[in-house]
């Protein structure tokens, strides 16, 4: 059975064989992850379609055309591992569900054996959160050499007066040089294009999130029990942006050649940081989604990204983007446009700050907001009014929340 690089979209013509999870000659089981394939848009795992013995044809780090045979599986029964010797403590299940690359990497970094962790993911899979709840294994102390092996330090040469000392040669390279991955190349090209091909400006404002915080605290448990997902901040901002886009459609527009295209739908991109770079999956027809559907959609995207199951269709399109740098601690930043879109909203960290209310100084949970926009499409007045409208909606979110 041939293992080929699958087609993942009309505009994708080649892929990088990023990593093999098995070695040539090893036995594989049906549906077991074999390797990671990376295009300029997504990273995905290829699983075994049958059990057998793997033969690798294309090595890691090789870029090949779509449809290339990168390995084969000699179909047949895979020999079962011999039973483990009895132990004083109960042993973990012998059949460990496949692990995602992120889980494998984190387990290696923290010195945790995944088979000793009870998985809470689908089918008993071990997730990143499962590993984060485990205590890392401290590295073993190096054994002291026997007395006979201890030697005196080598004598240092005596330099003539005024002669400069010469540094010893480095024991390891001081730089690491690796080729850019297809995804990183794509990110670099798009960011450069956003700077060179748009007239990008940014306007700023701040929002008092007291009412949003109060609503989340009041309805958090009910929301989770009813819908199975947490009520986050992002759904409030998605709803606020959709309503503001309805009032200022130019922010939802884009330039196509000599035409201005104004969509009458609202596909909102949600920027999510992934291990190999930023990806922006799209919530389709966000104006028709309830709060819980927005939160579930974002949670599903995050799970797909962790398991390298994000599809090209998840990333295509989008009329406006929201990026939350606050989850990383950013207080204020200038978000960059996601071409061909003309607007992107930057959310930031929530901080308790003193503000004036009715002639009094009070402490409120405040967030700086930033709207970057293409000045070729959006006038400064429209940009400022759009951001002000987003601020008004999140400061008085009851109408949005009741509607959702």
Shared domain for 211 and 295, answered yes or no, is yes
Residue 78 confidence class, pLDDT cut points 50, 70, 90: low
Mind listing the pLDDT tens digit for each residue in 18-46? Answer: 889 999 999 999 999 999 888 877 788 89
**Is residue 38 in a domain?**
yes
Among 112, 132, 152, where does a domain finish? 132
Region 323-329 average pLDDT: 93
Shared domain for 356 and 225, answered yes or no, is yes
Shared domain for 12 and 68, answered yes or no, is yes
Catalytic residue list contains 2:
no
Tell me what pLDDT residue 34 has. 92
Shared domain for 64 and 128, answered yes or no, is no
Residue 173 vs residue 24, higher pLDDT: 24
**Is residue 83 in a domain?**
no
**Is residue 188 in a domain?**
no
**Is residue 316 in a domain?**
yes
Choosing from 2, 31, 285, 379, which is the catalytic residue?
379
Shared domain for 244 and 308, answered yes or no, is yes
Residue 63 belongs to domain with CATH number: 2.40.50.100
Choosing from 129, 285, 290, 375, which is the catalytic residue?
375
DSSP string, 203-259: EEEEEE-HHHHHHHHHHHHHHHHHHSS---SHHHHHHHHHHHHHH-GGGG-EEETTE
Shared domain for 247 and 318, answered yes or no, is yes
Tell me what pLDDT residue 107 has. 77
Mind listing the pLDDT tens digit for each residue in 105-155? Answer: 677 777 787 778 877 766 677 776 677 666 555 545 555 555 444 444 444
Region 88-103 average pLDDT: 56
Measured in degrees and rounded to the nearest 5, phi and psi for residue 368 equal: -75, 140
Shared domain for 386 and 280, answered yes or no, is yes
Catalytic residue list contains 375:
yes
CA nearest to 336, candidates 298, 364, 388, 374:
374
Residue 127 belongs to domain with CATH number: 4.10.320.10
**Is residue 56 in a domain?**
yes
**Is residue 171 in a domain?**
no
Shared domain for 123 and 68, answered yes or no, is no
CA nearest to 292, candidates 212, 222, 241:
222
Shared domain for 335 and 230, answered yes or no, is yes
In angstroms, the Cα distances linking 375 to 199, 254, 342, 396 are 5, 11, 8, 29
Tell me what pLDDT residue 145 has. 52
Total structural domains within the chain: 3
CB 1 within 8 A of CB 72: yes
**Is residue 278 in a domain?**
yes
**Is residue 95 in a domain?**
no
Mind listing the pLDDT tens digit for each residue in 334-379? Answer: 999 999 999 999 999 999 999 999 999 999 999 999 999 999 999 9
Query: Residue 259 sits in which domain range?
Result: 199-403
């Amino acid at each position: 059975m041939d293992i080929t690089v699958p087609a993942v979209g009309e505009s994708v013509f080649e892929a990088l064989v990023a990593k093999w999870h098995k070695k040539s000659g090893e036995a594989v089981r049906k549906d077991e992850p074999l390797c990671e394939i990376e295009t300029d848009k997504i990273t995905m795992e290829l699983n075994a379609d049958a059990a057998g013995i793997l033969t690798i044809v294309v090595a890691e780090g090789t870029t090949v055309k779509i449809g290339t045979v990168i390995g084969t599986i000699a179909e047949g029964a895979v020999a079962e591992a011999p039973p483990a010797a009895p132990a004083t403590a109960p042993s973990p299940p012998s059949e460990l569900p496949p692990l995602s690359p992120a889980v494998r990497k984190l387990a290696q970094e923290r010195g945790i054996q995944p088979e000793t962790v009870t998985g809470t993911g689908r089918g008993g899979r071990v997730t990143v959160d499962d590993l984060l709840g485990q205590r890392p294994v401290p590295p073993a102390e190096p054994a002291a050499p026997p007395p006979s092996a201890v030697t005196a330090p080598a004598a240092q040469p005596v330099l003539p007066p005024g002669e400069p000392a010469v540094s010893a040669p480095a024991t390891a390279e001081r730089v690491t040089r690796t080729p850019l991955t297809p995804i990183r190349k794509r990110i670099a090209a798009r960011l450069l294009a956003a700077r060179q091909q748009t007239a990008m400006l940014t306007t700023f404002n701040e929002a008092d999130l007291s009412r949003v915080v109060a609503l989340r605290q009041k309805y958090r448990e009910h929301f989770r029990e009813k819908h199975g997902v947490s009520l986050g901040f992002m759904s409030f901002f998605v709803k606020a942006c959709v309503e503001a886009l309805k009032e200022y459609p130019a922010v939802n527009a884009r330039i196509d050649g000599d035409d201005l295209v104004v969509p009458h739908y609202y596909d909102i991109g949600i920027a999510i940081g992934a291990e190999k770079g930023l990806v922006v999956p799209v919530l389709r027809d966000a104006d028709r989604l309830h709060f819980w559907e927005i939160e579930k959609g974002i949670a599903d995207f995050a799970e797909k990204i962790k398991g390298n199951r994000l599809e090209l269709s998840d990333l295509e399109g989008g009329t406006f983007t929201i990026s939350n740098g606050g989850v990383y601690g950013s207080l204020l930043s200038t978000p960059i446009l996601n071409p061909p879109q003309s607007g992107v909203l930057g959310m930031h960290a929530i901080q308790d700050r003193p503000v004036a209310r009715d002639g009094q100084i009070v402490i409120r949970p405040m967030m700086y907001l930033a709207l970057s926009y293409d000045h070729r499409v959006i006038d400064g007045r429209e940009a400022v009014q759009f951001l002000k409208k987003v601020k008004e909606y999140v400061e008085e979110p009851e109408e949005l929340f009741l509607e959702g």
